[in-house]
A and B are shown apart, each in its own frame.
Chain A
């Protein structure tokens, strides 16, 4: 009798110890902090407050980014309009395709170096990177879904719960965590490995025409498209005028007349992959953008002050400028397997 009891106790102890051994799980995500490329300023710290990038959060964000089922008709994911081979813009499209054969009304911008911005979208409507996913989720000409349905869809896909646990330490599938995960992915889209970057680091050299183009760029373009981000993150009226969609840019958001036709100054990085150009994709090829600036009517009202001074370039100089601009393309970024689906 005594022996039996003792045996039971031993068995129980064994079971208990093995149970404890396997059940102690610690929430310990692997940090994956943003690497600031050489020469870049510090990134926008507000993005990472309460949301540091981890391998697990990044992996979850990537899965959500490529998930077609999140859209109303299961045809559109974030990646539909933000294609890696196009530097996460829509390749060779002025407007992108939303659900039910709709078209967006603006050109999809490249998703690169987002962590160095303070506002997002062509009109600056988005004030925090983690607020951004809510816009395409719900826009009728993009993913067209309700936020409540997005949460339901993520909950009903069994793959996700363990990923949320790994990323956030709990299976709270809600809009804040969905957005945080996507933000970890999009903020990690850092592109700074173009020929220009290698040249600046002394690992490569400009060809003669590119070097001439660089001088022209610094004299005429760098005021707004400021190196090394190739944007000063400001907004400007660059004189292209109202399009047939009556898109007034920042004024759509602020209702202020002074903001009429102000659009975000886009980065020039990767423009070898992001054509066509401008907020409505009206210019292609790149030389037509240069022609726009040299042909500009500088007497226009509300024109950006730096454009009031006529830019005069001969055809050779224009070619040199374009050749320089192509050195800003980072092909390794477009092929980086870290971002693959």
Chain B
């Protein structure tokens, strides 16, 4: 979402500078979801699609939802894989082994800005950008929750550096900002 607006592929929104942004790609890897019985499962989440993944909670009364934004370091160095981690998903740096775990591609109406293309990843110190998120759940019974990524919250980081293409100190900082941009919209049942 961008603030309260739901985003889809090629959605447009006007950012704080008054520039019109057309968003073409917004996706991320999440893994190690504490709700999931197969905790190691990795999901490629299309953030431009509502309910792009559904994970069922086998546990009653969870107090929080915990997950990793990124792909465990071991899976970054185990050779090409199938499924969500298949390099055909274009989330793997071929020239520099490792997964891109957040990909944002957009076009700005601002002629002075180059095209927006943030590819964030990095699993090695000192530029390990993988984030652990822990989102508290409200209410008494907590079996279902909708997670939202609010691009508006993250947008200042995009304006700061519209193009990121490799692990770096900035990618680590950006990734911390990313983890602050996820929240629980509602949880129910």
Q: Which of A125, A138, A176 has most chain B Cβ within 10 Å?
A: A176
A255 x B127 contact (CB < 8 A): yes
B52 at the interface (CB under 8 A from A): no
A148 at the interface (CB under 8 A from B): yes
Report how far A50 CA is from B126 CA in the complex, Å. Answer: 30
Chain A residue contacts of B82, Cβ below 8 A: 172, 174, 176
A127 at the interface (CB under 8 A from B): yes
Chain A residue contacts of B86, Cβ below 8 A: 174-176
User: What count of chain A residues pass the 8 Å CB interface test?
Assistant: 30
Q: Which of B95, B97, B168 has most chain A Cβ within 10 Å?
A: B97
B31 at the interface (CB under 8 A from A): no
Q: Which of B96, B127, B166 has most chain A Cβ within 10 Å?
A: B96
Identity of the chain B residue whose Cβ is nearest the Cβ of A119 in the assembled complex? B97
Report how far A59 CA is from B86 CA in the complex, Å. Answer: 24
User: What count of chain B residues pass the 8 Å CB interface test?
Assistant: 24
Chain A residue contacts of B166, Cβ below 8 A: 253, 255
Chain A residue contacts of B80, Cβ below 8 A: 130-131, 134, 175-176, 179-180
B97 x A183 contact (CB < 8 A): no
Report how far A244 CA is from B166 CA in the complex, Å. Answer: 23
Contacting residue for B98 out of A127, A137, A139, A179, CB 8 A: A127
B79 x A253 contact (CB < 8 A): no
B141 at the interface (CB under 8 A from A): no
Chain A residues numbered 246-266 whose CB sits less than 8 Å from any CB in chain B: 253-256
Identity of the chain A residue whose Cβ is nearest the Cβ of B77 in the assembled complex? A127
A135 at the interface (CB under 8 A from B): yes
Report how far A228 CA is from B155 CA in the complex, Å. Answer: 54
Chain B residue contacts of A180, Cβ below 8 A: 79-80
**Chain A interface, DSSP helix/strand/loop, else mixed:** helix
Chain A residues numbered 116-139 whose CB sits less than 8 Å from any CB in chain B: 125-131, 134-135, 137-139
Identity of the chain B residue whose Cβ is nearest the Cβ of A47 in the assembled complex? B79
B78 at the interface (CB under 8 A from A): yes
B162 at the interface (CB under 8 A from A): no
Chain B residue contacts of A255, Cβ below 8 A: 127, 166-169
B81 at the interface (CB under 8 A from A): yes
Q: Mark A169-207, 1 if CB is under 8 A from B, else 0.
A: 000101110011001000000000000000000000000
B168 x A134 contact (CB < 8 A): no
B94 x A253 contact (CB < 8 A): no
B88 at the interface (CB under 8 A from A): yes
Chain B residue contacts of A254, Cβ below 8 A: 124, 127, 167
B92 at the interface (CB under 8 A from A): yes
Report how far A148 CA is from B90 CA in the complex, Å. Answer: 9
Identity of the chain B residue whose Cβ is nearest the Cβ of A150 in the assembled complex? B88
Chain B residue contacts of A134, Cβ below 8 A: 80, 87, 92, 94
B32 at the interface (CB under 8 A from A): no
A147 x B87 contact (CB < 8 A): yes
Chain A residue contacts of B76, Cβ below 8 A: 127
A242 at the interface (CB under 8 A from B): no
B95 x A135 contact (CB < 8 A): yes
CB distance from B41 to the nearest CB of A (A): 17
Report how far A72 CA is from B55 CA in the complex, Å. Answer: 40
B95 x A51 contact (CB < 8 A): no
Identity of the chain B residue whose Cβ is nearest the Cβ of A179 in the assembled complex? B80
A151 at the interface (CB under 8 A from B): yes
A128 x B87 contact (CB < 8 A): no
Report how far A128 CA is from B86 CA in the complex, Å. Answer: 15
Q: Give 6 A-B contacts (CB < 8 Å), ordered by A residue.
A: A126-B96, A128-B97, A135-B95, A139-B95, A147-B88, A176-B80
Write the residues of chain B forming the contact surface with A, with a CB cutoff of 8 angstroms: 76-82, 86-88, 90, 92, 94-98, 124, 126-127, 166-169
